[in-house]
């Protein structure tokens, strides 16, 4: 009996290893909204969020996108990506935000923490300029306790952002 249980457990372990090696987990998935395209994972699903252009959620992460045309109130006196980023930080009362340029990319980013409904969240916010017509604020968030593991993941997702009429620009 012990031998059968041991063999069964060994078989389960082998199957689990094979599934792990073949990448049975979350795979990349392309999402598009209002001319913006982003690669997240198959764990994400789209939901509606008032006041936002797009909102995607998974079990542990969220991605939020806001498109603001050049004629929007925020952008009226804003002409550069740096000015837009500063305006976003000021309007949202984000304290001590340091703005970074992503090397080799055309966006700026900053991080901040915020408490929502009694939970602490970590945000990595990116700002983008789509020269055709708009500024974009794209934010990634998770519970603050996961922040150290998420920065590079969030930046990788931000790196995938592109704009245009076709999904595969």
pLDDT for the residue numbered 73: 59
Tens-digit pLDDT profile for residues 90-110? 999 999 899 999 999 999 999
The arithmetic mean of pLDDT across residues 145-153, rounded, is: 96
pTM of the shown model: 0.81
Helix-, strand-, coil-residue percentages of the chain, each rounded to 5: 30, 35, 35
pLDDT for the residue numbered 108: 98
> CA-CA distance, 98 to 14, in Å (whole number)?
47
Query: Is the pLDDT assigned to residue 40 strictly greater than 60?
Result: yes
- For residues 4 and 138, the model is more confident at 138
Which of 16-30, 52-66, 97-111 has the least mean pLDDT?
Answer: 16-30
pLDDT for the residue numbered 160: 97
- Cα-based distances in Å from 8 to 3, 14, 78: 9, 10, 65
pLDDT for the residue numbered 25: 66
The arithmetic mean of pLDDT across residues 34-52, rounded, is: 97
Is residue 77 very low, low, confident or very high in pLDDT (cuts 50, 70, 90)? confident
- Helix, strand or coil for residue 130? strand
């Amino acid at each position: 009996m012990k031998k059968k249980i041991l063999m069964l457990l060994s078989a389960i372990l082998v199957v689990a290893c094979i599934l792990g090696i073949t990448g049975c987990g979350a795979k990349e998935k392309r999402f598009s909204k209002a001319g913006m395209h982003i690669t997240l994972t198959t764990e994400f699903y789209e939901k509606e969020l008032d006041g936002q252009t797009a909102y995607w959620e998974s079990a542990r992460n969220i991605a939020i996108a806001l498109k603001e045309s050049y004629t929007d109130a925020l952008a009226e006196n804003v002409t550069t990506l740096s000015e837009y980023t500063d305006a976003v930080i000021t309007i949202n009362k984000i304290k001590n935000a340091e703005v970074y340029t992503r090397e080799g990319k055309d966006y700026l980013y900053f991080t901040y923490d915020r408490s929502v409904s009694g939970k602490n969240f970590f945000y990595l916010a990116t700002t983008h300029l789509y020269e055709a017509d708009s500024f974009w604020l794209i934010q990634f968030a998770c519970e603050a306790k996961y922040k150290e593991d998420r920065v590079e993941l969030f930046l990788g997702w931000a790196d995938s952002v592109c704009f245009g009429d076709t999904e595969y620009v």
